[in-house]
Structure 1
Amino acid sequence: MEQMKMCIRTRDHFKAVGDIGSANKFEQLALHSKKDLDVARVLKRRGDPLPRFHYEARVFTTVVCNTDLKDDDLEVTLVQGSSYNVSNAKDIDTYIVWTFPYPTEAPVTGRSDTVYDTNSPVYNTVFTVPIQRNVRACQRMFKRHALKLEVWSKGCSFLCCCSGFFRSDTLVGTVNVKLAPLETKCTIHDAYDLMDGRKTLGGKLEVKIRIRNPIVGKQLEQVKEKWLVIDNVS
């Protein structure tokens, strides 16, 4: 059953990326697996012994692709922070200001919502920025630049600040996520150290970046499967 489900999932994936030849190949594998499963069910229902079978080691090459994204979309998820190294760990309120370095003359910027009273905030902020994957300037940007993320701590207003004075927001730390891996991969997902220049401050920020296909070529992945084959039934 799992073998057939794997074939159907892979068939649907190849259809979504436009590789009809590979989709048809996995369609046939799914049909063969279903036929074998049907034979086993009929024999069991009749009380006959199950057929002889053997396992084969098979290797399948699949194309990794985020099919839910458009060709010129880049999606960023600011997942969560962990253990920010601050003195007010239980009552710090933080948000993230992000800067995407394209277009170079007018980088795209934005910010997350504020998460209150924790130094391990869960942001779950998702945003999408447009890219031009076939434009050389955009391709160079991926090779050389990074997504800049600044973690800020909110100050307090005159009304709520215990000292009676306004306190401005302060920078907790910065993360720069290099975009070069997206030349050959369609997803980056990691937790990055908060930095002050080259100094590690303590604490991490989990970030995921996705594009439909890598900027250069396709991302291929080999999957090894233990494949069950039912021998010929007379």
Structure 2
Amino acid sequence: MAKYQEACAQAKAAGDDRKARMHERIAKQYQSAIRAHKAGRPVHYEELPVPPADPGAEQGFAAVLDAATKLVSDEAQEAEEGEEEEAKETKPPAAQTPKKPMLAVPPTVQGRQKSPSPSLERLAQKEGLSPTAQQQVDFLEGRKKQYMKAALLAKQKNDMEQAKVFLRAAKGFEPMIEAAKSGKAVDISKVPSPPGDEDEDFIMVHHSDVQLSEKAEEVYAQLAKLLKEQYEKSMMYSKQFTHLGNITETTKFEKMAERCKKNLEILKLSQARGLDPPKHHFEERTYKTVRIFPDLSSTEMVVVIVKGMNLPAPHGIATNDLDAYVKFEFPYPSTDQPQKLKTNVIKNTNCPEYNQSFTLNINRNHRGFRRIVQSKGLKLEVLHKGGFLRSDKPVGTAHLKLEKLETESEVREIVEVIDGRKPTGGRVEVRVRLREPLSGQDLQTICERWVVLEQPQVVL
């Protein structure tokens, strides 16, 4: 603290107010730590900044990375031992036959099941925690280990700045872990996503000396595309359940994403060696998911005007000369002060494609908003854009009901365009989204065709 107070005084004398304020804040952080220590409360020393001139900073950083190295090696060894024991138990003794070399793939500890562990209930009773609290602790500690391993990998690539970023993120889990151990509820929607989800993880390895047939190249490209799509879906479902606080489903989909990622690595290695594509098969999988749009806040409603279809042209306008746009009105916060917006003009077509999104301000808990959703809905009007000194001409109107938002997070309808009460034959496709339904959850059952790679055998 004295060092930072001295640095603050020097910065003030030099006229550097920004640096002075920074050192003053750090000094106050040390003062708070001193008060906590005197009061008998625990102090997290690793969270206190170390003066740049102090060699202990880099030593501490190296010590943490060494601990991460030990963590990875110990877990990998445990996983390998568990696999060997499992193989001994499940495989009957057989005659010794020559074994083909296997493709060397680094073990992925996160997605691998270890030998059976005590149930959550017994573990929770042992530590004096409820099963839910123990589940949260396990989830947070697992996520912390992921960031420690990411820091280790960054260090091995000599990217020390990235390693420090991952280490700081790993330390950020410690207060949440302590809160969970003390019985406090932790909002896992604020927990950072697993590190290493960047697209560059999926860049295929290219070797100029590798010769593959056109058919093999096509199979590799198709498998890579399917696996990447499966990875993205798994991560999307994981994030949805994270926002809902469902740890079990979050972990399940994270493990599925990890398996897809491992299969992509196998695919890259096989292609780089010029091997035939690995054997694979398809499985029909059924998942129960909850549809949610986590990018939206609880005060936002998104209206998407997708396209118009076979819109009628006003009198005196040819169909191919129709310059149509759509404007809509949502009577919130009141009918006297509705929110009004409109699309761009698409010229010379009666089937315009807009694909424009508009964000409306709402209060999902307000009784007036719920009443409008249940009774009034969204009013749309299609118009033809007039030219110089010519006013816009109406094409027709449409109405979108929004009652489904009570139980669904998205309403998607193709509404009919009418002229007064007379159908015109034209239609408009519209979507309306909320972060989540107004009542309950938008539960969905999804059936998908999932590609699964079989473990390849290769000659190295």
TM over 0.5: yes
Distance change in 2, residues 1:199/1:62 (3 Å): same
Instruction: Tell me which of 413, 432, 435 is aligned to 1:190.
Output: 413
Q: What TM-score comes out, normalization by structure 1 length?
A: 0.76
Q: Quote the offset at 1:109 in angstroms.
A: 0.9
Instruction: Tell me which of 396, 402, 423 is aligned to 1:200.
Output: 423
Amino acid corresponding to residue 223 of structure 1 in structure 2: I
Amino acid corresponding to residue 123 of structure 1 in structure 2: Y
**Bigger strand share:** 1
Residue deviations 1:43-102, cap 9 Å, x none? xx9xxxx9xxx9987643211111221112111111211211225111122222210121
CA distance in 2, matches of 1:216, 1:111: 29
CA distance in 2, matches of 1:145, 1:80: 22
- Greater radius of gyration (CA): 2
Gaps of 5+ in 2: 1-223, 267-272, 455-460
CA contact (8 A) 2:407 2:438 kept: yes
Superposed counterparts of 1:131-142, under 5 Å: 131-142=362-373
Q: 1:70 matched to which residue of 2? A: 297
CA distance in 2, matches of 1:143, 1:85: 30
CA distance in 1, matches of 2:294, 2:368: 25
Distance change in 2, residues 1:156/1:136 (3 Å): same
Q: Give the stretch that moved more between structures: 28-37 or 9-18.
A: 28-37
CA distance in 1, matches of 2:283, 2:349: 52
Q: 2:358 matched to which residue of 1? A: 127
Instruction: Tell me the secondary structure at the aligned position of residue 372 of structure 2.
Output: helix
Q: Quote the offset at 1:198 in angstroms.
A: 2.8
CA contact (8 A) 2:400 2:413 kept: no
CA contact (8 A) 1:95 1:152 kept: yes
CA contact (8 A) 2:298 2:435 kept: yes
Number of aligned pairs?
A: 217
CA distance in 2, matches of 1:4, 1:85: 42
Q: Quote the offset at 1:226 in angstroms.
A: 6.9
Gaps of 5+ in 1: 40-44, 159-166
1:176 lines up with 2:399 in the alignment = yes
Distance change in 2, residues 1:173/1:14 (3 Å): same
Distance change in 2, residues 1:145/1:26 (3 Å): same
CA distance in 1, matches of 2:387, 2:264: 66
CA distance in 2, matches of 1:9, 1:131: 25
CA distance in 1, matches of 2:322, 2:230: 50
Instruction: Tell me the secondary structure at the aligned position of residue 15 of structure 1.
Output: helix
Residue deviations 1:124-154, cap 9 Å, x none? 3221001111112211111111111101112
1:99 lines up with 2:322 in the alignment = no
Q: Quote the offset at 1:183 in angstroms.
A: 1.1
CA distance in 1, matches of 2:362, 2:427: 27
CA contact (8 A) 1:4 1:34 kept: no
Q: What TM-score comes out, normalization by structure 2 length?
A: 0.41
CA distance in 1, matches of 2:260, 2:342: 50
**Bigger helix share:** 2
CA distance in 2, matches of 1:121, 1:28: 43
Q: 1:42 matched to which residue of 2? A: none
Amino acid corresponding to residue 424 of structure 2 in structure 1: L
Superposed counterparts of 1:144-183, under 5 Å: 144-158=375-389, 167-183=390-406
Q: Give the stretch that moved more between structures: 220-229 or 103-112.
A: 220-229
Q: 1:26 matched to which residue of 2? A: 253
Distance change in 2, residues 1:220/1:229 (3 Å): farther
Instruction: Tell me which of 303, 311, 315 is aligned to 1:84.
Output: 311
Instruction: Tell me the secondary structure at the aligned position of residue 250 of structure 2.
Output: helix
CA contact (8 A) 2:417 2:425 kept: yes
Distance change in 2, residues 1:77/1:225 (3 Å): closer
- Higher RCO structure (Cα 8 Å, ≥6 apart): 1
CA distance in 2, matches of 1:67, 1:73: 11
Instruction: Tell me the secondary structure at the aligned position of residue 80 of structure 1.
Output: strand
Structural RMSD (CA): 3.4
Q: Quote the offset at 1:13 in angstroms.
A: 3.0
Instruction: Tell me the secondary structure at the aligned position of residue 157 of structure 1.
Output: coil
CA distance in 2, matches of 1:70, 1:132: 10
Amino acid corresponding to residue 65 of structure 1 in structure 2: I
Q: Give the stretch that moved more between structures: 7-16 or 81-90.
A: 7-16
Query: Identity over the aligned pairs, expressed in percent?
Result: 35
Q: Quote the offset at 1:33 in angstroms.
A: 7.6
CA distance in 2, matches of 1:64, 1:148: 26
Q: Quote the offset at 1:25 in angstroms.
A: 3.0
CA distance in 1, matches of 2:302, 2:432: 6
Superposed counterparts of 1:47-58, under 5 Å: none
CA distance in 2, matches of 1:98, 1:215: 22
CA distance in 1, matches of 2:253, 2:412: 29
